[in-house]
Amino acid sequence: MVSQKTTNVDIDRLLKHHALMWRIRAFEEAALQAHTEKLVLGAIHPSIGQEAIAAGVCLNLRSDDLLTSTHRGHGHTLAKGADPNQMMRELLGREGGNSHGKGGSMHIADFSVGMLGANGVVGANIHITAGAAHAIKLLKSDRIVCSIFGDGAINRGPFLEGLNWAVVFNLPALFVCEDNGFASTTSTSSVTGGKGAAARAEALGIPSLTVDGNDLISIDEAVRSVISSIRAGNGPRLLVAKTYRLSGHTASDPDTYRLRSEVEKAWESDPITNLGGVLRRAKVDTVILDNHESNARIEMAAVFSDAKAASWPPLSRAFEDVQDIGDPRQEAF
Amino acid sequence: MVSQKTTNVDIDRLLKHHALMWRIRAFEEAALQAHTEKLVLGAIHPSIGQEAIAAGVCLNLRSDDLLTSTHRGHGHTLAKGADPNQMMRELLGREGGNSHGKGGSMHIADFSVGMLGANGVVGANIHITAGAAHAIKLLKSDRIVCSIFGDGAINRGPFLEGLNWAVVFNLPALFVCEDNGFASTTSTSSVTGGKGAAARAEALGIPSLTVDGNDLISIDEAVRSVISSIRAGNGPRLLVAKTYRLSGHTASDPDTYRLRSEVEKAWESDPITNLGGVLRRAKVDTVILDNHESNARIEMAAVFSDAKAASWPPLSRAFEDVQDIGDPRQEAF
Amino acid sequence: MTTMTYADAAKQALTEEMRRDPTIWALGEDLGRGGVFGQYQGMAEEFGPERIADTPISEAAILGAAVGAAMSGTRPVVEMRFADFALCAIDELVNQAAKARYMFGGQTKVPLVVREPMGMWRSSAAQHSQSLESWYTHIPGLVVVCPSTPHDNFGLLKSSIRCDDPVVYMEHKNLWALEGAVPDCDPIPLGVARIARTGQDLTIVSWSSTCHEAMLAAVTLEEEGLEAEVIDLRTLWPWDKRAVLDSVEKTGRLLIAHEAVQVGGFGAEVAATVADRAFSSLRAPIKRIGAPRVPIPYAPPLEDLLRVTPERIAAVARELTR
Amino acid sequence: MTTMTYADAAKQALTEEMRRDPTIWALGEDLGRGGVFGQYQGMAEEFGPERIADTPISEAAILGAAVGAAMSGTRPVVEMRFADFALCAIDELVNQAAKARYMFGGQTKVPLVVREPMGMWRSSAAQHSQSLESWYTHIPGLVVVCPSTPHDNFGLLKSSIRCDDPVVYMEHKNLWALEGAVPDCDPIPLGVARIARTGQDLTIVSWSSTCHEAMLAAVTLEEEGLEAEVIDLRTLWPWDKRAVLDSVEKTGRLLIAHEAVQVGGFGAEVAATVADRAFSSLRAPIKRIGAPRVPIPYAPPLEDLLRVTPERIAAVARELTR
Ligand SMILES: Cc1ncc(C[n+]2csc(CCOP(=O)(O)OP(=O)(O)O)c2C)c(N)n1
Ligand SMILES: Cc1ncc(C[n+]2csc(CCOP(=O)(O)OP(=O)(O)O)c2C)c(N)n1
Ligand SMILES: [Mg+2]
Ligand SMILES: [Mg+2]
């Protein structure tokens, strides 16, 4: 399924994507390492194998566009422009994390780059997206809001209610379904009626497009065209990106529900390798490509060291930012 | 939109439907009267204009088939075989009501005829239907479960979650959407994305059929064929019945959101008149048809008198049937 | 100073706030035609359908969208129609609205008001009659308001709209038509109780509709020579502990009356707080009066059996002071 | 008598019940592969995918379907994975399951068990750590169970499955691996507390995981010469008032400890009940220890700050008996 379309593509653009994908990969590997070292004690959901979606979607968003994500949100957040130092500190629960270590991996967020948060509740970000897009419309801004969620999320009510909402109010929302075939240990095809996300969105009046989520070039093109339609005021769109989760569901998932051979086979369509191949065939110097990998690893190793060395948040943080009225610093009981 | 298909139809069958529709109409009128007389103080949602759906669906159900309904459930309940005396007593909150006056109109139910309850929460009956059908399948029975809901309900999560559930588990469920164009004072087309219930169900993998809900003959035929498919184990089906609510949303609805001319026009497609016309054209003696009306009115007048004369439930009822463990008769506080 | 109904007082407050701040908007089912209780009557005409937004029957999306909209520069006022329907949107309210500011370490705030008309309303039965205010007091991040008079509904709704936190705003359905004076006043601060009546002999704490029953009971008790102090909490989180503790220190006797189910009701929190912090002032057991742990029945006589009436309140007050 | 973990004890109970009664079935996400905490490990192999049913991620449908299935001749055991996700299914639990029997005047019953793994579990943060048991105690129709030991998890789950009412069954995630003796025993009756330890000087009431902290506190206190009576409520509705009142009548002092947010927690109900019915026995203020009204933070040191520890319990106990 490797895209052969190298004509008309902007090599610099692809290189940017390639570098970003490596940064995501290296970030996830560092996060897994942190879990192994018991520096992260909660759940980590790595996005290894799905980096083309994060890159292809987020590099097409403006920095003032908004984004919401799921439990598997590191890649999206990084791609939207968040600082990996802050992110890794957040994962390790340290001061200097985006949320002072109060949210952690499942709630990774960086509002300064328009990333309104990962979410621990499958599907919950869909409504938040609809609402953010609603606000944007009320405020007559030309920003758009993107929501990324998994193929498991399309069986929850918000998929219907939130997408319907976006149609009814003709909102500037881009919905992206990362269809990796699984919801935790369950094959989504076994729990999903009909033809899946695209068909459901169409029935709700949302035009949708299905692309190979491991082919950065296809995603990049699809997202670009879809976003320009959304920004032009044509209402919401859905993009379904077919992919495969190369790692376990969480860092501690023994992953016994998939055949090893299936996973190994899937590695052959690793989106980073795919894009690397395209670039190589386009005669990009291999050193540049290799540097993306090594630079990313160097960067994320430093990020990891920084986070390890960072201090815990001061205990007073526990009582901050709950609410103004009825603030627990005045009355916690 | 009056059906002209009188060939091949069983006149006796149509007469049964005609009589039932009149009984529903007369019941609703009595209920409205009860509301006017302040004998019913809570909300009443009359189904005047939608009787063909209740009759066409429920007369095709076996008495051991199950049914769930909405806030607008009197007609469905009566059509499923409930005793109008008990129903009217329930509406008036009297002893001898189906639920001893504890549920009232919005929770009308008669489990003895397989009517598992109206529901005060729009869409909530969809999940209950899926579950009842699931139980039936587990128990290897050949019964089916039917769920009737409005066009407003298709914008709530249960429409997606419950229908998907029925597909995934291949359940014997018949979903019926009474598409009367309104949800309370709101035109449903203004709050519904896409092409509505049928398209959404299809996208979930449920074949659906749209019929003129004011044409008893069409409904009757459609339901019959659909039910035989469901009973044969072919999984869930959706029927969309286009209709119009001739009365207000509730008994106290001033109905200012619809043009009088629109409502008057709609009376011309009154489903009872429609069927009456068919029967007249089929040379059925007009006296028989008129008797349906007058008998229904006589019956429901008696039903109303009976309910008026009935006593209140004994106060002890308030504390009954809450739960076994932690029963408020032992500990209410 | 004008006399208006509880419903109109809220409409007046919302209207004034919407005129003041163009980022405020209201959303819910049937708002365009005034809302089911007429609380929005005429507002769509003034503010247009964008700011008085008619929504699909999608409670979860209504509340969830409000969260996203509140995080993105607007101040939504959400109409849930009946508090009972908010149960279709609890993830959105409790897991999202209440926690977002904290989980994101203060990167955002969620300034929204959720209007949840509560309580018994003749023959509305089990799914349209609940009083679940105590649930929300248990959720960090939420402010909980239960006004009992037109004046309070005006002033507290204003404060709630101006508040940067998610506020669960529970109007009692039985009070819509209640008339009362609404002075041209500033917003009423959240978290401050109203001493509805002063007295030396016992303290009656209440909120929402039940305050009126407590006041009636106090009149009866006065005729019998008992002076009850009646405190209307108005806000349940934060609640005015100082007002209650001061009163109990004076009277030595506490009775809490509310419409909600007594078990797990907010009366328990008031009682437990006083049993801790004003223990030495107590001269009698703390009494609570709430509904038995029974769903609300439909038939009027059964429904009435569950009500907290002035008679029940007065009877327990007598018992307490005997 | 066998030693097993809290998780296995529940599995054993469910397995035995499913062998006994073919109408019992379990449903939830990922159950076929044993469930997220392994509580169903191997059960799909014995009972097949129809009775250990893998569902879509549709909490509302899971619970709502269970209501329909419970009304139609089966006894569903619903797995919610984390108590927090049950917030996606509150209408189904509170408006439907809890009220159906009553609204329909006893025409039906809703025999279902909702398993809601609760509580803090290292760095799970605000949406995966909540303890909302007090909510359910407030809802007529629901039974609420919070087992703290493998033995209780075995015996109480059996009783819950046999119960004809909807039962909210809250296992604590931190206890899954706890080992303990499970005698070959009959189901343990719902509503009966366990006196975990007898003592004369004060009463500590607790449930779920916090019981273990209370027991540790009691050991410390004993070394200091203070004899605490520790009561594990086990069931919160109905709760064993008699056991608590008897104990307080003996000790004159009450401390309630629970992991949930203290404001609006079930500790308030216990305190309020005692402040009413055992007032004259009380020799000191009633104390509660729960979490501050703060969402659960992710960072371990912040998370720990919110915990109810043996030290906190012992400190308050000392204060109480001073
Ligand atoms: C409402 C809800 N139910 C269940 C879960 C537990 N859970 C976390 S991730 C997950 C699977 C999600 O699958 P999908 O949406 O396909 O995303 P993926 O993990 O494949 O990226 C589940 C069931 C949850 N977080 N929220
Ligand atoms: C969850 C929920 N939201 C709102 C309501 C209030 N309500 C009662 S009936 C109704 C309109 C329902 O419209 P539809 O489903 O089309 O049924 P119809 O009344 O037309 O028969 C609404 C909004 C409710 N009962 N439940
Ligand atoms: Mg997936
Ligand atoms: Mg309708």
Q: How confident is the model at residue B49 (pLDDT cuts 50, 70, 90)?
A: very high
The pLDDT of residue B4 is above 80 = no
Is D89:D63 a contact under the CB 8 Å cutoff? yes
Chain D hits for B323, CB-CB cut-off 8 Å, are 101, 140-143, 165
> In the predicted model, what is the mean pLDDT of residues C26-33?
98
| Cα distance between residue B168 and residue B281, in whole Å | 46
- CATH no. of D2-182: 3.40.50.970
Question: Tokens 């609380």 map to which residue?
Answer: C39
| Cα distance between residue A238 and residue A222, in whole Å | 10
What residue owns the CA closest to ligand 2's atom 17? Answer: B150
B232 lines ligand 2 (CB under 6 A): no
CA C162 → CA A321, C40, C186, distances in Å?
17, 19, 12
Compare CB distances from A102 to C56, C60, C103 and report the shortest one's residue. C103
Q: State pLDDT tens for residues B236-278.
A: 999 999 999 999 999 999 999 999 999 999 999 999 999 999 9
The pLDDT of residue D79 is above 50 = yes
Residue A19's closest CA among A296, A311, A279, A321?
A296
**DSSP string across B273-323:** HHHHHHHHHTT--HHHHHHHHHHHHHHHHHHHHHHHHSPPPPGGGGGSSS-
Tokens of A182: 């699984």
> In the predicted model, what is the mean pLDDT of residues D264-288?
98
- CATH no. of C194-321: 3.40.50.920
Q: How confident is the model at residue B5 (pLDDT cuts 50, 70, 90)?
A: low
CB within 8 Å of B212: residues ≥ 6 apart: B1, B3, B218, B219, B241, B242
Q: How confident is the model at residue B222 (pLDDT cuts 50, 70, 90)?
A: very high
Is the backbone peptide bond immediately before D189 cis, with ω within 30 degrees of 0? no
- Across the interface, whether the CB atoms of C29 and B190 are under 8 A apart is answered no
Of chain B, the end-to-end C-alpha distance in Å amounts to 58
C128 in catalytic set: yes
E strand or H helix at C194:
strand C194-197
- Across the interface, whether the CB atoms of A185 and D33 are under 8 A apart is answered yes
Tokens of D264: 């609006």
In the three-class reduction of DSSP (H, G, I as helix; E, B as strand; rest coil), residue B181 is classed as coil
Q: Kindly provide the ipTM of the predicted complex, given to two decimals.
A: 0.98
| Cα distance between residue D31 and residue D55, in whole Å | 8
Residue B202's closest CA among B144, B160, B169, B172?
B160
B151 lines ligand 2 (CB under 6 A): yes
- Across the interface, whether the CB atoms of A164 and C58 are under 8 A apart is answered yes
Question: Per-domain residue ranges for chain A?
Answer: 11-308
User: A120 alpha carbon to ligand 4 midpoint, in Å?
Assistant: 35
Chain B hits for D77, CB-CB cut-off 8 Å, are none
Q: What is the mean pLDDT of each run of 10 residues along chain A (333 residues)?
A: 55 98 98 98 97 98 98 98 98 98 98 98 98 98 98 98 98 98 98 98 98 98 97 98 98 95 97 98 97 98 98 98 97 94
Residues with CB under 6 A from ligand 1: A 71-72, 120-122, 150-153, 178, 180, 182-184, 188, 245, 249; D 29, 57, 59, 81, 85, 88
B34 lines ligand 2 (CB under 6 A): no
- Across the interface, whether the CB atoms of B194 and A200 are under 8 A apart is answered no
Ligand 2, residue B151: give the atom nearest the CA.
Answer: 16
Q: In DSSP terms, which residues pair with D77 in a beta bridge? A: D26, D113
Q: What is the pLDDT of residue C185?
A: 80
| Cα distance between residue C42 and residue C23, in whole Å | 19
Is B125:B171 a contact under the CB 8 Å cutoff? no
3-state secondary structure string, B30-99? Answer: HHHHHHHCCCCCCCCCCCCCCHHHHHHHHCCCCCCCEEECCCCCHHHHHHCCCCHHHHHHHHCCCCCCCC
Question: Per-domain residue ranges for chain D?
Answer: 2-182, 194-321
In the three-class reduction of DSSP (H, G, I as helix; E, B as strand; rest coil), residue A323 is classed as coil
| Cα distance between residue C11 and residue B13, in whole Å | 54
Q: How confident is the model at residue B8 (pLDDT cuts 50, 70, 90)?
A: low
Side chain identity at A104, as an amino acid letter?
A: G
Compare CB distances from A190 to D54, D60, D295 and report the shortest one's residue. D54
Tokens of A156: 């929850």
**DSSP string across D69-138:** HHTTT-EEEEE-SSGGGGGGGHIIIIIIIHHHHHHTTTS-----EEE--BS--TT--TTS----HHHHHT
Ligand 1, residue A120: give the atom nearest the CA.
Answer: 25
Tokens of C250: 């004076």
- Ligand 4 is an ion; its neighbours by CB within 5 Å are B 150-152, 180, 182
Q: What is the pLDDT of residue B13?
A: 97
* Fold equal for D2-182 and D194-321: yes
Tokens of C7: 């419903």
Chain D hits for B162, CB-CB cut-off 8 Å, are 61, 64-65
Side chain identity at B32, as an amino acid letter?
A: L
CA angle C81, A117, A325 (to 5 degrees): 55
Is C110:A324 a contact under the CB 8 Å cutoff? no
The CATH H-level superfamily of B11-308 is Thiamin diphosphate (ThDP)-binding fold, Pyr/PP domains (3.40.50.970)
Residue A198's closest chain B neighbor by CA?
B203
From the CA of B153, the nearest ligand is: 2
Length of chain D: 322
Is the backbone peptide bond immediately before C238 cis, with ω within 30 degrees of 0? yes
B186-187 vs C113-115, strand pairing mode: unpaired
E strand or H helix at C228:
strand C228-232
